[in-house]
């Protein structure tokens, strides 16, 4: 797992040696709880448990005034679970975060 | 003042009262033009406008397109459903592709709040917000105020009630900003579940009794019940909504005063308003449609004046 800071966002790359329930990911998410997170994954499908985990994470971050976006080229936005932001590139993830920041600034 | 204080039309919130007056005065001139036998002026014949609709729209899109054509602008249209373009995904790419065709003005409707603001930070073109989620629909509010001004002489001091689904309505929010800016007194009326808690912080009164609301007002702007924006039930049934908040001729007759009836359309006849009210002499619904073209011509014209050629 790799952690990077990019444009005030935390970018987490999950490689093949990590899973979404790894303690390292949990620790990172807690440590950077006040930052928007971009999670890069290379999974071609999400289990029900993983989907639920990611959707809950999105809700928690949203409630906390931050954003959570998953980047993968293997799952399209139409295949993504309801309530989860999935985009194919890092640039588009940053766009989503910027749009959600504007929404928050407008009081929504 | 002959220039707008803003570079884009992203929301009424960013306009001044002088901006609104300038738009109205410009619209007065265009209204005269669109009632001539030859309804077209050459004002924008070197301007290209892209209408980008990422959400379904018929009336607003047609109104913008007609306004652009009346001004002799070159027009390109792009539509995409919400499912194929989500949030920021592909939005900038899509717009940049279109802008590479040397587009000067972008008219955009998008399902996300603040989409126009986002776009204005990334692209080199004038942006006109044609509706962004539940945030704002500035040209609708401008044409509504313009229609009140036309019917009653002015907006200042008038009592205006906005009836219906305030929670999901970008029309309501933009109208509140526009009406307050021009000195009108504003109330909202509807089921408490469809009235956002923050509404009183905008200087707006809340009424849950439609009769009392109508007795108070000079103008009733009746909103469409937007079932497509409701992910949960906000009232027990359409029938109950109609009984409690629907406006019918019997109710208006029993109040015994002249009330101007408005509706941004499309109307759910028999739900928020009955046909005999929608088609009555008190109704200015069709005037709103006509004024929509004049107001959009004015907004486009005024923004186009700022483009350096």
ipTM of the complex in this document: 0.80
Q: What is the mean pLDDT of residues A21-34?
A: 89
The parts of chain B modelled with pLDDT lower than 50 are 82-84, 87-88
Please report residues of A whose CB lies closer than 8 A to that of B113: 102-103, 106, 108
Closest CA to B273 of B301, B245, B239, B236: B245
Q: So what's the pLDDT on residue B86? A: 52
Which residues in B have their CB inside 8 Å of a CB on A?
A: 83, 86-92, 112-115, 117-118, 121, 133-135, 198
User: Which structural domains are found in chain B, ordered by start?
Assistant: 12-136+289-304 (3.40.50.1370), 138-285 (3.40.50.1370)
Walk across the sheet containing A9-13 and list its strands: A2-6, A9-13, A37-40, A68-71, A85-87
Q: What whole-number distance in Å separates Cα of residue B158 and Cα of residue B219?
A: 8
Q: Which two tokens stand for residue A96?
A: 């989503």
Closest CA to B227 of B169, B285, B176: B169
User: Which structural domains are found in chain A, ordered by start?
Assistant: 2-105 (3.30.750.24)
| Confidence label for A78 from pLDDT (cuts 50, 70 and 90) | confident
Contact B113, A102 (CB under 8 A): yes
Please state, in angstroms and as integers, the Cα–Cα distance from residue B189 to each residue in A30, B121, B142, B244, B253, following that order: 44, 36, 21, 11, 19
Q: Which residues contact A81 (CB under 8 A, 6 or more apart)?
A: A46, A51, A52, A54, A55
Average pLDDT value over all residues in chain A: 89
The alpha carbon of residue B73 is apart from the nearest alpha carbon of chain A, in Å, by 30
Closest CA to A24 of A38, A14, A9: A14
SS3 label, residue A11: strand
Burial of B69 (0-12, 13-18, 19+ CB in 10 A): middle
Q: What whole-number distance in Å separates Cα of residue B235 and Cα of residue B226?
A: 12
Q: So what's the pLDDT on residue B192? A: 94
Q: So what's the pLDDT on residue B148? A: 98
Among chain A residues, the shortest Cα distance to B132 is held by: A103
In sequence order, what are the beta bridge partners of B260? B219
Walk across the sheet containing B205-207 and list its strands: B205-207, B185-189, B159-163, B219-222, B260-262
Q: So what's the pLDDT on residue B22? A: 98
Q: So what's the pLDDT on residue A21? A: 80
């Amino acid at each position: 797992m790799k952690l990077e800071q990019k444009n005030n966002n935390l970018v987490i790359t999950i490689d093949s040696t990590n899973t979404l329930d790894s303690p390292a990911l949990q620790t990172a998410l807690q440590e950077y709880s006040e930052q928007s997170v971009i999670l890069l994954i290379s999974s071609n499908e999400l289990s029900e448990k993983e989907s639920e985990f990611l959707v809950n994470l999105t809700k928690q971050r949203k409630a906390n005034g931050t954003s959570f976006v998953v980047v993968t080229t293997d799952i399209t936005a139409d295949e993504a679970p309801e309530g989860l932001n999935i985009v194919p590139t890092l640039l588009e993830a940053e766009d989503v975060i910027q749009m959600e920041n504007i929404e928050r600034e407008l009081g929504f | 003042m002959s220039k707008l204080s803003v570079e884009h039309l992203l929301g009424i919130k960013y306009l001044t009262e002088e901006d609104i007056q300038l738009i109205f005065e410009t619209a007065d001139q265009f209204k005269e033009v669109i009632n001539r036998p030859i309804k077209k002026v050459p004002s924008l014949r070197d301007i290209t406008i892209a209408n980008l609709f990422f959400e379904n729209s018929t009336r607003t899109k047609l109104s913008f397109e007609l306004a652009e054509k009346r001004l002799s602008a070159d027009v390109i249209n792009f539509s995409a459903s919400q499912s194929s373009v989500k949030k920021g995904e592909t939005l900038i790419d899509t717009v940049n592709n279109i802008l590479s065709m040397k587009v000067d003005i972008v008219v955009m409707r998008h399902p996300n709040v603040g989409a126009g603001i986002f776009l204005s930070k990334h692209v080199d073109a004038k942006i006109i917000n044609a509706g962004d989620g539940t945030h704002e629909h500035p040209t609708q509010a401008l044409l509504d105020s313009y229609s009140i001004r036309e019917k009653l002489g002015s907006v200042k001091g008038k009592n205006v009630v906005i009836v219906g689904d305030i929670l999901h309505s970008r029309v309501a929010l933009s109208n509140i900003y526009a009406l307050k800016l021009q000195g009108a007194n504003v109330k909202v009326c509807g089921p408490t579940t469809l009235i956002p808690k923050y509404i009183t912080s905008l200087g707006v009164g809340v009424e849950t009794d439609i009769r009392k609301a109508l007795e108070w007002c000079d103008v009733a702007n009746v909103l469409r019940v937007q079932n497509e924006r409701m992910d949960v039930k906000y009232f027990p049934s359409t029938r109950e909504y109609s009984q409690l908040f629907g406006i019918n001729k019997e109710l208006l007759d029993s109040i015994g005063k002249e009330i101007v009836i408005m509706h941004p359309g499309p109307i759910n006849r028999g739900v928020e308003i009955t046909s005999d009210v929608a088609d009555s002499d008190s109704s200015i619904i069709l005037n709103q449609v006509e004024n929509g073209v004049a107001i959009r011509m004015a907004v486009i014209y005024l923004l186009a004046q700022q483009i350096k050629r």
